[in-house]
Amino acid sequence: MRSEFVVPTDLDTATRHPRAAAPGEPVGEHNPVCYGCGSRAPHGLNLRTIAGDGLTVWADMAVTPWMEGGPGVIHGGILSTAFDEVMGAIPKLLGANAVTVHLEIDYGKPVSVGSTVRLHAELLGVQRRKIFTKAVAHLGDPNDSLAIAHAVFVTIKGREHFSDYVENSRAADEYRPHFTP
Ligand SMILES: CCCCC/C=C\C/C=C\C/C=C\C/C=C\CCCC(=O)SCCNC(=O)CCNC(=O)[C@H](O)C(C)(C)COP(=O)(O)OP(=O)(O)OC[C@H]1O[C@@H](n2cnc3c(N)ncnc32)[C@H](O)[C@@H]1OP(=O)(O)O
């Protein structure tokens, strides 16, 4: 399985869901124990993603010593996770549950431990179940990027998609009632 990131030209109309977070409000965690956004994930990034104008979101991430990869700089996989998480909030603005099927990162500059990185994501388009997104990591000036990411998400039916796995969740007790027919 291999795919390239190409935004199709024949896109569907995409509109913000009427009950989506308003600009300036947190988009909200999709799972309390998610490694990326969960407030109860003990070793996670605890990212708090905020809705922006239109179909955009942003989050700030403090680069702490445990995120180190190369000496004094962030591990690329941590930045990749943060990108995935922040772009993963875009489907929520559309009122959709979706999972990542394709993620690519261009790393432009080292990201220092001790810095605070802003991740800004936007919708590029929707075609059927596919949601195309882009995100930029920067230190305050979006035109001076540290890294750029592109991802494709595909909408899912949450209960069907996770039913075989939910018992492995740290929060299985909370999920079980929602998955019992
Ligand atoms: C109260 C109960 C609530 C229960 C729910 C609870 C929680 C909330 C739910 C959702 C939130 C979940 C995640 C949160 C979001 C962000 C956090 C970070 C995101 C992640 O960390 S998430 C983990 C990694 N992720 C995966 O674990 C996905 C593994 N994967 C699959 O599970 C299947 O792949 C699936 C089901 C996605 C699709 O499978 P399928 O059989 O349904 O559909 P199919 O294959 O037909 O694809 C449909 C269309 O996507 C195109 N397509 C497919 N693959 C592509 C690729 N690679 N590149 C470009 N396009 C691609 C096809 O070309 C076709 O396009 P078209 O129809 O237009 O031709």
Mean pLDDT over each residue of the chain, to the nearest integer: 97
Residue 73: is its pLDDT beyond 80?
Answer: yes
Residue 72 lies in a domain: yes
Residues 92 and 99: their CA atoms lie apart, in Å, by 11
Residue 6: is its pLDDT beyond 90?
Answer: yes
Residues 156 and 121: their CA atoms lie apart, in Å, by 21
Residue 121: is its pLDDT beyond 80?
Answer: yes
Cβ neighbors of 57 (< 8 A, separation 6 or more) are 27, 49, 50, 51, 86, 89, 90, 93, 120, 121
Range(s) of the domain holding residue 71: 50-179
Residues with CB under 6 A from ligand 1: 3, 30-31, 36, 84-85, 88, 97, 99-102, 127-130, 152, 154, 156, 158-159, 162, 178
pLDDT at site 1: 82
Number of domains present in the structure of the chain: 1
Average pLDDT over residues 63-81: 98
| DSSP3 helix / strand / coil % (the chain, rounded to 5) | 20, 30, 50
Residues 113 and 63: their CA atoms lie apart, in Å, by 5
Residue 57 lies in a domain: yes
The pLDDT tens digits of the residues spanning 34-57 come to 999 999 998 999 999 999 999 999
Residue 117 lies in a domain: yes
Q: pTM value? A: 0.97
CATH number at residue 120: 3.10.129.10
Residue 27 lies in a domain: no
Residue 110: is its pLDDT beyond 80?
Answer: yes
Instruction: Provide Rg for the chain, Cα atoms.
Output: 16
